[in-house]
Chains A and B, each alone.
Chain A
């Protein structure tokens, strides 16, 4: 059993949250949907490793729902998004202004009407920072080099950043709405393109949500391939991360070496599945086609492992690089937990969570990963966690490639009418959750995505306030979040 669906009354929420947190659990997200019937709000809670996830469903109240953001800060953004996109009113929200889009008075919410409504960007609501000699810098949305678009406002004095306010969601494409009305097997392409460099993790979480609704499990060979592909994704992403981090510390040789290793990883992806970013491979029920490991790939992986070890050794010996990471952008453990940090970012702040171990999927029960932790919470810790994960991924890849079972790669996945499924995956950037609601015809009625970059962008500003301008780019690179995953 993957999940428990519970009906609840809004008045019971604070008590339920208190019990969950006291038991070592964590809230994941909240979203609204209208399937079936009136507007309903669902809270996704994870009580802890090995325990089924819980979906708490609450009817939206006519006078508005009480905001839980004061109890669980990480819900703050999800609540604001519900307000913007689903038209759920919230009472006593600490930051009540729009997050994703702004609706004009009387305009219907985009998720509850046909296409064509509400295309206004949310305003950049700025903190009240006043004083002598305070300068303001607006940066973006178009940034130097090849970067994703987002806008940032700095309030600073000399080198010191007093406050930092990002303006995200300029790239909001309304992806969740695009799932509506699609057949479950067709929508996997949409999931892959929510975050292109997390295509496999998104597709995997989505497929597992549909399989959960259908009550089926893909065959062992498909599950092993899914883990293998997921580790390939982690490998090329972490190599990209290291190259980019070296670039921000102006270590150009380290950047070039990291990018070259990333390129080799991407070429392995293409050789294995035909797509450099691992798209077009998964389908609810397994894989779209059987894959075969080309003869040169095990050797290539061994070479990549050897060269990555040497690369990491070199980085660890380069003091000009390390000096810029130590004590930069510290994220305390409690802030990481409260604000919803995920993936390598939370593990670098000492939170021992990884979906591959805590709620195993694909082939991770047979091939459990070693979880890399660090306690310092600074950019160096985030870098070290990624280094450890890269080597662990390369080890897992060789083990998975060696033990690939034979057999079918796809099983029937009949989607039940009015079905409901929850799926998840530990992407290179952290936890991805998909919740899928089916309509009476078995088509997708509502798909909610919890993406790791959304979580980590919420956390990131807490490491920027009171830091230095010259460390900003390094700190941002040490988080390694995408904008597309956040904005969706």
Chain B
């Protein structure tokens, strides 16, 4: 056992800087697509046809608005597969390098080029009630195990979630946050609701990953569900497939009022 300690000490600090310092972390994959403020070619629906999760729709200008058809994108469904970017003939859809940002309202994941930009900040609902620590009960309600893999990564020495005062707990009775992954299949719905009911007030729910937000690939099948919001009220939505550990950390700190929401009305700040 002495050797473990010796080698551990010799290697030095393994934990990344941050999380607030946006230090270069090599975990930002090919990110969510971005959409240029341009009209699409007439009758082009290549991206809409290519999207495996129906995240893209055509958006027509409203009354009194100029311009033609543009593309609306629901980040809550997007799995960042990059297919729309590959097929877009006019570079309206472009590769993004943003990690998936967490939001407090489902609408903030919906980008519609013809909608007015939402400028009003959402009330600080959480009001820093969990200022010091946060205990999480995770429930897998029908995931592919990708989200679990990245959640487990949060506990490795590189991300070291504990240093932020955030812990996973076994009992829902000791939990502040229910973190849901997966589409919520019929057999898991009951267990999910039981876990939520067992939690003391105040309690919050985070839907993590495209499946828990919208059902993504398995949406509306004979067995797949359509996300956590159909079963329990959701307070934070974290898109991505799967969200990277840094994105999960950002969303957890958002809940604690220790990070800033970066996506409003489907538009990423700055």
Contacts and interface: CB of A to CB of B under 8 A. Distances in A.
Interface of A: 101, 110, 115-121, 141-142, 144-149, 169-175, 177-178, 182, 186-187, 189-190, 193-197, 199, 240, 253-254, 256-257, 259-260, 262-264, 266-267, 270-271, 274-277, 279-280, 288, 310, 314, 317-318, 320, 482-485
Given A119-B223, A174-B221, A177-B222, A148 B145 contact: yes
B244 interface: yes
Contact of A274 (B30, B182, B188): B30
B26 A149 contact: no
Contact of A149 (B82, B140, B220, B224): B140
B144 interface: yes
A199 B29 CA distance: 15
A288 B86 contact: yes
Given A148-B140, A173-B183, A173-B221, A482 B145 contact: yes
B27 A267 contact: yes
Contacts of A178: 217-218, 221, 224
A89 B183 CA distance: 30
Contacts of A186: 50, 52, 83
A11 to B, nearest CB: 33
Given A189-B79, A197-B146, A172 B223 contact: yes
24 contacts: A101-B223, A119-B223, A121-B186, A141-B187, A141-B191, A148-B140, A148-B143, A170-B187, A171-B140, A173-B142, A173-B183, A173-B221, A178-B224, A196-B144, A196-B146, A253-B5, A256-B156, A266-B153, A275-B29, A277-B150, A279-B241, A314-B7, A482-B145, A484-B145
A173 B219 CA distance: 9
Contacts of B168: 145-146
Nearest to A317: B3
A173 B218 contact: yes
Nearest to B224: A173
A376 B236 CA distance: 49
A260 B4 contact: no
B141 A149 contact: yes
Contacts of B241: 193, 279
A254 B8 CA distance: 10
Contacts, number: 191
Contact of B8 (A145, A172, A257): A257
Given A173-B183, A189-B83, A276-B150, 13 more contacts: A115-B221, A146-B138, A146-B155, A171-B140, A171-B185, A171-B187, A172-B185, A178-B224, A197-B145, A253-B1, A253-B8, A266-B27, A280-B82
Contacts of B27: 266-267, 270, 276
Contacts of A197: 145-146, 149
B217 A271 contact: no
A174 B222 contact: yes
- Indicate the member of B26, B146, B157, B222 with the most A CB atoms within 10 Å: B222
A116 B221 CA distance: 7
B86 A119 contact: no
Interface string B148-167: 11111101111100000000
Contacts of A254: 4
B151 A146 contact: yes
Nearest to A453: B145
B147 interface: yes
B148 A146 contact: yes
A119 B222 CA distance: 6
